[in-house]
Amino acid sequence: KQEVTQIPAALSVPEGENLVLNCSFTDSAIYNLQWFRQDPGKGLTSLLLIQSSQREQTSGRLNASLDKSSGRSTLYIAASQPGDSATYLCAVITDYGQNFVFGPGTRLSVLP
């Protein structure tokens, strides 16, 4: 059964710092991986989706990489801002499944 973990569980950084969030999954046979942002009491907003054939995706200050063989993905946030404060979740869908499996999330606080 696919399991997804995220490290760290929480992270607090000063504004302007570059940071990396980690996502690990146990079954490397994934179809795609998606990173989401969740603000308190809100739904999830899609940030980046990486297809299994891709190595990375970029959107603005965000860059997500995927290493299927090692079961890892990283989300890189450049020049962090207080508005980046939120919980970041990763989710994978396996080749044989139809559903996303979510990690528990990393709660990020960017201090002004």
Partner 1 sequence: DGGITQSPKYLFRKEGQNVTLSCEQNLNHDAMYWYRQDPGQGLRLIYYSQIVNDFQKGDIAEGYSVSREKKESFPLTVTSAQKNPTAFYLCASRDVGGVQETQYFGPGTRLLVL
Contacting positions for partner 1 (CB under 8 A): 4, 32, 34, 36, 41-46, 49, 89, 91, 98-100, 102-105
Closest CA to 30 of 60, 83, 71, 80: 71
Min dist CB 14 to partner 1, Å, is 25
Min dist CB 93 to partner 1, Å, is 8
Q: Quick check: 89 and 75 in contact, CB under 8 A? A: no
Min dist CB 46 to partner 1, Å, is 5
Q: To the nearest 10°, the Cα dihedral for 71, 74, 75, 78? A: -170
| Nearer CB in complex with partner 1: 18/49 | 49
- Residue where the block lists tokens 């997804």: 4
| Nearer CB in complex with partner 1: 43/112 | 43
| Nearer CB in complex with partner 1: 16/35 | 35
| Nearer CB in complex with partner 1: 18/45 | 45
